[in-house]
Amino acid sequence: MIQSLCASRAAELLMQRDNITLLCHRRPDGDTVGSAFALYYALRQLGKEVRVLCADPLPQQYRYLYGPDYTPSRVLDWPVEYVVAVDVASAELLGELEPKYGRMVDLCIDHHPSNTDYAALTCLDGEAAACAELVAAILTAVGLPLTGKIAECIYTGLVTDTGGFRFSNTTANSMRLAADIMESGVDTAAINTRIFESKSKARVLAEARLLSALQFYAENRIAVMPITLAVRAETGVTMEELEDMAGIPRRIEGVLVGVTIKEHENECRISLRTRDCVNASEIAAVFGGGGHRCAAGCTIRASVEEATRLLIAEIQKHLPEETV
Amino acid sequence: MIQSLCASRAAELLMQRDNITLLCHRRPDGDTVGSAFALYYALRQLGKEVRVLCADPLPQQYRYLYGPDYTPSRVLDWPVEYVVAVDVASAELLGELEPKYGRMVDLCIDHHPSNTDYAALTCLDGEAAACAELVAAILTAVGLPLTGKIAECIYTGLVTDTGGFRFSNTTANSMRLAADIMESGVDTAAINTRIFESKSKARVLAEARLLSALQFYAENRIAVMPITLAVRAETGVTMEELEDMAGIPRRIEGVLVGVTIKEHENECRISLRTRDCVNASEIAAVFGGGGHRCAAGCTIRASVEEATRLLIAEIQKHLPEETV
């Protein structure tokens, strides 16, 4: 059990420090960048020196939060005085920043119940839908109003981690925080459009190809979507643009297990999404992977056809008895 | 300007009456059925006789609100004592119920600023994102808690008319109402899954076909999606399942005008969705149609090819000068 600081204690610590390095997790998403930049702008407003670091490039999609010119500056000569990780559940998730920063995180602000307690101090709220909710509580404790750029950052974290307030992690608190941000004058509808209503032509054409190639097994209870190297080459779609495709096969009525198979040079990376009656992590574990009950993943060193064959054989053992 | 009743006055009127007929608009959506059934359950709970009527069949999609067995009962021998229209902006929108009920609506509860003031009394909130928000205010004025089935109905109206809290009509009030409903114990995530995360196999295959057939014009600033009789026949998708397809072409980055062309026996029905710099209603008006700035429609009595040709020629006149 992690000894968690409350938001107001975390706020006090941040107020006392300067030259603050904020760390995002690798393969950054809207919540880690939203949380980091909300703190970045807030602490800058208080006159502090702050920088944001991430092992991987920050997504184009959230560029409105950090501007086209943002580059993690002064990486080499920056005084490492106070290190804060946001939305980073374990040191490993720092990616290439782990060797340097993994053991020197002073404060971790997080919402993952699985947090490994790797930081000197941790401010954890396992009930929060997004880390941004906790950051909002910290900024409120500092006495900063949630407005302008800071509010845009918080909203972005909130809306992405809740899947647009649709996922079951969404709470009444998430909704009320969004309400407050709307009232502060942020154009939340414009952010929603950027995040949910905007797809590249390449992505749309790739989606058409992938949907046409859906395969169904076990009386339509299993749907498999192969994302082959060929489709990626032909449509020019990037892996980043395909990030959220894994949810698609399970969305089809009657499908209990949705499988996405991403072909790479020497292996296939598998995403499993299941309805509650089938345990995805048990299936993934058979292939050396893991995850949650309804979302898990694994890697299979085989062709797409062979991986499909192996997966279908295994998944069929996990399907419930058919009701007559 | 409509003389609008406040929610508490509407509540008083409903409390005084019995044998209440609730009217939905034709081609019913989540808000008209959610609003009607919230009132239905609430008024039944108060011991009143109530029925819900609609010119068209109630959508399968919202069956969880009214049960598989719901049929508008006792249509012929029911005493027409007090008639309430919900989410119905004009008598015409009653569809086939108009001849009988169009001139005898005692109370209209609505959120469309365009309401034509056809009812004896109108309770209108043009700021509300959904009619269900206003119904919630009325039920609260009655003193009824928003829980159970009633809360499910309200949430359904709210979440559908706001496009899952994504559209620009969503307000802080919408979010706070959703928060209250979540706290009452309603499984809002399950409702979200039903509404947004569930598509028939036929719909998914039709979508693949339609996305593959997207046509681009004017340097990708116009995207056209023809929905032909052939695609509908081959995939078995219903028109109801294709309802929300009109938004797809505009979602593509760079597209200023998204056009959906639904082929019917003797005509094409056109949906236009534009970004703010192009006025959709002006384009629709050229073909005898109309609508709003960013969403409009018209009917063209021609083949899909000919309709496309006519539309592209007209739309090009409305595109902004290209920035070099």
CB contact under 8 A, B216 and A201: yes
Residues of B with CB under 8 A from a CB of A: 164-168, 170-173, 175-176, 178-180, 182-183, 188-189, 192-193, 196-201, 204-205, 207-212, 214, 216, 220, 247, 251-254
pLDDT at B72: 58
Q: What is the pLDDT of residue B321?
A: 84
Average model confidence (pLDDT) across chain B: 92
Which residue of chain A comes nearest to B163, CA vs CA?
A164
Strand bridging mode A290-291 / A295-300: antiparallel
pLDDT digits (tens, 9 = 90+) for B64-109: 999 765 665 545 567 789 999 999 999 999 999 999 999 999 999 9
| pLDDT higher than threshold 80 for residue B38 | yes
* pLDDT surpassing 70 at residue B323: no
Q: Is the pLDDT of residue B324 over 50?
A: no
Containing B286, the helix (H) or strand (E) segment is: helix B280-286
Under an 8 A CB cutoff, do A171 and B164 touch? no
pTM for this predicted structure:
0.85
| B136–chain A nearest CA distance, Å | 17
Instruction: Specify the pLDDT at position A147.
Output: 95
pLDDT band for position B295 (50/70/90)?
confident
Rg (CA), chain A: 21
Give every CB contact of residue A226 below 8 A, 6+ residues apart in sequence. Answer: A210, A213, A215, A261, A263, A304, A308
pLDDT at B228: 94
Yes or no, beta carbons of B197 and A172 under 8 Å apart: no
pLDDT of residue A324: 43
Per-residue pLDDT at B147 exceeds 70: yes
Closest Cβ–Cβ partner in B166, B173, B178 for A196: B166
Say how far apart CA A32 and CA B216 lie, in whole Å.
36
- 8 Å CB contact of B172 and A164: no
- Sequence-ordered list of residues with C-beta below 8 angstroms from that of A50, at least 6 positions apart, any chain: A20, A21, A22, A39, A40, A43, A44
Tell me the C-alpha to C-alpha distance, in Å, between residue A206 and each of A30, A84, A257, B78, B316: 23, 39, 22, 55, 27
Q: Do the Cβ atoms of A205 and B211 come within 8 Å? A: yes
Residue A178 near residue A152, CB atoms below 8 Å:
no
Collect the ranges in chain A with pLDDT lower than 70. 1, 68-77, 322-324
**Complex ipTM value:** 0.84
Which strand ranges, in their side-by-side order, compose the sheet holding B295-300?
B215-217, B222-227, B257-263, B268-274, B295-300, B290-291
Looking at residues B226-238, what average pLDDT do you find?
91
Q: What is the pLDDT of residues B243-257, one digit of tens each?
A: 778 889 999 999 999
**Cross-strand bridge partners of residue A109:** A86, A123
Strands of A222-227's sheet in order across:
A215-217, A222-227, A257-263, A268-274, A295-300, A290-291
